[in-house]
Amino acid sequence: MDIPSLQALAASNTWTSILPELMLGCLALLLLVLEIVLPKRLHSALPGVALLGVLALLAGQLLTACCGITEGESFNGLLYHSQEGQLMRVFFLLAALLTGVLGTVCLARQRVAHTEFYHILLVVTAAMMLLVQSNHFVMLFVTLETVTIGLYILVSYFRNSPFSLEAGLKYLIMGALSSAILLFGIVLLYGVGGNPSLPAHTASAMNFDELRAFLAANPHNFLASVGIVLVLSGVAFKIAAFPFQIWVPDVYQGAPTPVTAFLAVASKAAGFLVLLIVARTFSPYAWLLAPVLTVMAAATLLFGSLAALTQHNVKRLMGLSGVSHAGFLLLGVVAAGTQSMAVGAIYFYLFAYLLASFAVFGVMAQVAGPEDADQEISHYAGLAKDRPFLALVLAIGLGSLAGIPPLAGFMGKLFIFIAAFQAGLYGLLAVAVVAVVISIYYYFGWIRAVFFSNWVSPDGEAAPQPARAPVGLMAGLMLGVLALATIFLGFYQGPLGQWLNNR
């Protein structure tokens, strides 16, 4: 091989474009190697290694994001790198970091292996980062499966707890079902796209650009419509949209709290990014897409809010209120069909949701007792007296989730509402307003238990509460930063708001 062809090879080396994901994978492997190599007494440092590594990667990504990255395809169109992709890399790294910190709190109470938790977490994160940049159904499916299989393990990670095992099994069955539906939709689209008797047929119908061109040429193909609906259904499982949300309460309750947080934030965000990607690909079928997503959004909003009303277990409450949040984001996705501003609104909403959710889950991890699935609202009675810091962070997190100004969550909702108005979705907006008011009720019930002393549990007698351990330095720091960021982002959106709204 001569020098010029080597240079050409080096210049076309697309591996550099997925450097963050590669490094994350290496970090995950390094953890396993270190566990074998290091003596047992040093094992307690391994989570620290994982967190430091993620932190370093996060800093690197923020630097690159500020310098701007080159947009374009890599790996023959398997991936498409964009500014948004870069932003979501930051998002998932942040989620992994926060989940890791929560892990240090929760895992300490259980007799389970520690290193593997971080290993799987990092692999899943890397897969999510690739997932949201995928531009090809093969890439999408492979990364999605990597994410899902990793999550199967994580959900049932507390293998001494029957709740955790039950949750793992439920998630496995539901996840497999949704993957099958998704795969069937992909196959249908691939098959119909390759049909030589149709105009604009293509050999590589798995590629999103090719598929969109094919769909644009055949705007009313029956098989393609079926495929689209099936793909949407598969994605709806991941984002827990109605009517594919049945797994949520049990899985959220049974999974270890850090994993619940990861499911609620990162997995949901990944699902929405996938939804945005496929919605863009299916844009020639807007006649089908818009009504399906509209009905789904309305039903998700209402179901999530109403179902959350009656919950006393905070993990189930967070799960069902998360369903209602998925409804708000779906509202944004519907608006994104006509308004490009809605996409920015969705990103902002996701970031606000990340900050607020991890603040709430962080407090939950502190308050939870040895049985992780058993976290009742009544356990929070008098928290404001015992641990004013935790109570304050919880109030800020819940306030942001409820969309109360001046917190970041309000700005997210506001952007979504403005986008929905510009898109003319008045009916959905009315439903969303109702959902906001209902959500105030159930979030407020929780806050009431924390702050107002005369609260008694529904059965009339004070429930026994798990002992409250002091807040560790790292967890305390994380909670403080999250709460401050939630307030700050509500007052001043700065460059992030500027960038998202000028898209």
Partner 1 sequence: MNLPFDPLLASIVAPLAVAVAIACGLPKRWSIRLAYVGFALPALLALHAWFHYSAQPQVHGYAFLTRYSTGLDGLGIGLTLGLNGISLPLFVLAGLVGLAAGLYAIQSTAERLKIYLMLLLVMQAGLMGVFASVDVFFFYFFHELALIPTFIMIGIWGGRDRSYAAMKVTIYLTLGAMLSLVGLIALYVKSGATSFDLITLREIIAARPLAATLQHNIFALLMFGFGILVSLWPLHTWAPLGYGAAPSSAAMLHAGVLKKFGLYGLIQIALPLLPLGSAHWAHTLAALAAVGNVLIVGFITMAQRDLKQVIGYSSVMHMGYAFLGVACYSVLGAGGVVLLMVAHGLSVALLFLLATSIYHRTHTFELTEMGGLAQKTPVLAAFFVAATFASIGLPGFANFWGELTIFVALWQFSHCLTVIAISGVIISAIYGLRAAARVFFGPPTDAFAAVAAQHPPADLNWREKIPALILLATLLFIGFWPKSLSAPLNDTLNTVYSAVAGK
Q: Toward partner 1, which CB reaches closer, 288 or 484?
A: 484
Name the residue among 122, 99, 155, 111 with its Cα closest to residue 31: 122
Minimum distance of partner 1 from residue 487's CB (angstroms): 10
d(CA 261, CA 273): 18
CA angle, residues 477, 326, 490, in degrees to nearest 5:
45
Should residue 55 be labelled a site residue for partner 1 when binding is judged by CB under 8 A?
no
Q: How far is the CB of 144 from partner 1 (least distance, A)?
A: 33
437, 458, 462, 477: residue in contact with partner 1 (rule CB under 8 A): 437
Q: What is the DSSP string of 360-417?
A: HHHHHHHH--SSTT--BGGGGTTHHHH-HHHHHHHHHHHHHHHT-TTSHHHHHHHHHH
For the bound state, the minimum distance from the C-beta of residue 264 to partner 1, rounded and expressed in Å, comes to 23
The residue (of 184 and 455) whose beta carbon lies closer to partner 1 is: 455
Scanning 16-24, 247-255, 367-375, 414-422 for contacts with partner 1 by CB under 8 A, the matching segment is 414-422
Residue in the block written with tokens 């007494």: 41
* Residue 140 token pair: 């999408």
Distances (CA, A) of 484 to 347, 358, 385, 400, 412: 19, 13, 21, 12, 16
Rule CB under 8 A: say whether 404 interacts with partner 1.
Answer: yes
State the Cα–Cα distance between residues 349 and 417, nearest whole angstrom. Answer: 11
Residue with tokens 């007792």: 369
Nearer to partner 1, 20 or 399 (CB): 399
* 429 binds partner 1, rule: CB under 8 A: yes
Asked if residue 281 lies in contact with residue 208, where contact means CB atoms within 8 angstroms, the answer is yes
In the complex with partner 1, which residue's Cβ is closer, 15 or 492? 492
Q: CB-wise, 142 or 440, nearer to partner 1?
A: 440
Cβ atoms of 359 and 301 closer than 8 Å: no
d(CA 209, CA 138): 14
Is 455 one of the binding residues for partner 1 (CB under 8 A)? Answer: yes
**Helices 222-239 and 162-193, axial angle in degrees (round to 10):** 160
CA distance 97 to 481: 13
Q: Which of 85, 91, 93 is nearest to 132 (CA)?
A: 85
Segment contacting partner 1 (CB under 8 A): 277-285, 314-322, 431-439, 470-478?
431-439
Q: Does 310 bind partner 1 (CB under 8 A)?
A: no
Rounded Cα–Cα distance for residues 415 and 405 (Å): 13
Shortest spacing between CB 494 and partner 1, in angstroms: 4
The answer to whether residue 427 forms part of the interface with partner 1 (CB under 8 A) is: no
Nearest distance from C-beta of residue 163 to partner 1, angstroms:
31
Residue 491 in contact with partner 1, rule: CB under 8 A: yes
Least distance in angstroms from the C-beta of 409 to partner 1:
12
Q: How far is the CB of 24 from partner 1 (least distance, A)?
A: 31
Size of the site for partner 1 (CB under 8 A): 34
- Regarding 399 and contact with partner 1 (CB under 8 A), the answer is yes
Minimum gap (Å) between residue 484 Cβ and partner 1: 11
Q: Which residue blocks in 263-285 are alpha helix, DSSP H?
A: 268-281
CB of 380 to partner 1, least distance (A): 14
495 binds partner 1, rule: CB under 8 A = yes
Residues that bind partner 1 (CB under 8 A): 399, 404-406, 410, 414-415, 417-418, 421-422, 429, 433, 436-437, 440-441, 444-445, 448, 451-452, 454-455, 491-498, 501-502
